Amino acid sequence: MPTCRAISSESAGPIHKLHSGVGVASISCSDPAGAPVAAKGSDRVAVNRSRSFLFSLALGLIALGGGLLPPAAAATLVPPGNRHAEQPAIPGASVRRTKQTRSTFEAKYEKIRDLLAGDARLREKIRTVAQNYKIDPMHIVGALVGEHTYNVDAYDRLQSYYVKAVAYAGERFRFEYDGEKVTDFVQRPEFSVCDDSAGSRAVWSCREEVWNSTFRGKTVDGKSFPNNRFNAVFFEPFYAGQTFGLGQLSPLTALKNADRAVQISRIRPFSAERAAGVYEAIMDPDSTLALMAAGISADIEDYRRIADFDISANPGITATLYNVGEATRRARELAATNAKRAKRGQKAKLPVENYYGWLVNDKEAELRAIIGN
């Protein structure tokens, strides 16, 4: 019985070799004495099966980063630390709110720092959810510190957030403006551009952009709309500027990140149709941590995919985005700015922290010692 083997083509390039059977150019067969003989059909089938196996193996190695094909160019890493030498100005509203409570920013920072340092259960929850979303836990810590330093005081114990969550479970309210439910509002024809958006983040981000461009501060079909944020107009049934829970999430932010949190953390699904369900998710520390991580990980992905920046090593930047929101739009704007700068021969502009993110970077060493890596 003759023995056959595949002969590789040394002259083929890596791409050609893969598509032609991982470099197989021909089949060579010989009899037991070593004399060459013609390959039979069955011999070719056997070798072709070998070629098919090698080809599948090569594709698998590519998928695993085996280095057979050159990797895509890496995004520009935004280094740790602040770009600003001094902290940018803190908004007047935050200053006034802190004075009204007869507190200081330093005292509020120390309170959330002490909550993190003194609650091992909370630290473990943060580390676990960060691992699930493949992000540094410092990104979650940074958002918590920023919110509780500049917006609200931290409760002394994590259990307090669970108690407050129960209090909201029975509330009856809905998201609307001037008698028009937001779920009806987004069915207007102006929002049809969002119909093909995939996932809650894309859908609600699109709707927010339509609001800004078409309705904000304008009169449409005889109805006047406030010159204010989408969340402030439709998603604040109690009072203006409201955010709740451990992560101080707004309802719109929670809705944007719902799909990812449901998929990865298996939190209970919720929608804008039932406002109480949204607040239950926000107020519960377990689901709010999942929503925080879902949003932060998506922000990191957006900046890598859209703006070509890797912000994963700078918790001050992710904290800034957590504070100001609309990361997808901001990534597009930064990409457009840098495209213009490139045409003029200028260096790319890096993402920059605001006052909120500046504090996070400034305190990173202290906070990282508390949360660990």
For residue 354, pLDDT beyond 80: yes
pLDDT value at 268 more than 50: yes
* Mean pLDDT, all residues of the chain: 82
Are 139 and 287 in a shared domain?
Answer: yes
Q: Is beta strand 309-310 parallel, antiparallel or unpaired with respect to 76-77?
A: parallel
Task: Examine the fold and report which residue of 40, 63, 86 is the final residue of a domain before the chain moves on.
Answer: 63
CATH number for the domain spanning 311: value is 1.10.530
What integer pLDDT is reported at residue 239 of this predicted model? 52
Last residue of a domain, one of 17, 40, 63: 63
Other residues' Cβ atoms within 10 Å of the Cβ of residue 345: 6
**pLDDT tens digit sequence for 192-227:** 999 999 899 999 999 999 999 999 999 999 999 999
The answer to whether 354 and 320 have CB atoms below 8 angstroms apart is yes
Do 27 and 119 belong to one domain?
Answer: no
Asked whether residue 71 is domain-assigned, the answer is no
Query: Lowest-pLDDT range, 243-247, 311-315, 323-327, 347-351?
Result: 243-247
Q: Say how many domains are in the chain.
A: 2
Q: Mean per-residue pLDDT for 306-329? A: 97
39 shares a domain with 141: no
Q: Give pLDDT, residue 361.
A: 98
Domain assignment present for 230: no
Residue 101 located in a structural domain = yes
Residue 49 within a domain: yes
Give the span between the Cα atoms of 327 and 169, in whole angstroms: 30
pLDDT at position 167 is 67
Tell whether 254 and 131 lie within a shared domain: yes
Determine the Cα–Cα distance for residues 78 and 98; give it in Å rounded to an integer: 32
Residues 15 and 83 in one domain: no
pLDDT (mean) for 298-307: 97
Residue 52 banded pLDDT, cuts 50, 70, 90: very low
Single-letter amino acid code for the residue at 193? V
- Choosing from 30, 63, 96, the residue where a domain stops is 63
Determine the structural domain holding residue 338 and report its residue range.
Answer: 76-175+235-371
User: 119 with 259, same domain?
Assistant: yes
* Same-domain check for residues 124 and 263: yes
Cβ atoms of 142 and 292 within 8 Å: the answer is: no
Is 138 found in the same domain as 43?
no
Question: Would you say residue 155 has pLDDT above 50?
Answer: yes
How far apart are the C-alpha atoms of 19 and 24, rounded to whole Å?
10
Among 325, 289, 299, smallest CA distance to 137 is for 289
Residue 241: both structure tokens together: 């500027």
Cα four-point dihedral sign 318, 321, 322, 328? negative
Q: Which of 3-12, 22-31, 153-162, 277-286 has the highest mean pLDDT?
A: 277-286
- pLDDT at site 209: 95
Residues 89-140 have pLDDT tens digits of: 999 989 998 888 889 999 999 999 999 999 999 999 999 999 999 999 999 9
CA distance 283 to 254: 11
Q: pTM above 0.85?
A: no
183's tokens: 């779920």
* Distance between CA atoms of residues 238 and 246, nearest Å: 18
The CA–CA distances, whole Å, from 355 to 94, 177, 187, 316, 368 equal 11, 32, 37, 9, 19
Examine the domain organization and report whether 290 and 327 are in the same domain. yes
d(CA 63, CA 100) in angstroms, rounded, equals 57
Biggest CA pair distance of the chain: 98
Any idea which residue has 């829970």 for tokens?
245
Q: Is the pLDDT of residue 270 over 90?
A: yes
Per-residue pLDDT reduced to its tens digit, 68-92: 334 446 899 999 999 999 999 999 9
| 8 Å CB contact between 155 and 365 | no
Whether residues 29 and 106 fall in one domain: no
User: Are 278 and 255 within 8 A, CB to CB?
Assistant: yes
Do 137 and 87 share a structural domain? yes
Asked if residue 198 is part of any domain, the answer here is no
Question: Quick one: CA dihedral 318, 320, 322, 325, positive or negative?
Answer: negative
Tell me the C-alpha to C-alpha distance, in Å, between residue 287 and each of 65, 264, 266, 303.
34, 11, 9, 24
> Is 59 in the same domain as 124?
no
List CB contacts of 274: < 8 A, sequence separation 6 or more. none
| pLDDT at residue 101, as a whole number | 83
- CB atoms closer than 10 angstroms to residue 28: 14
Q: Would 216 be classed as within a structural domain?
A: no
In a domain, 46, yes or no: yes
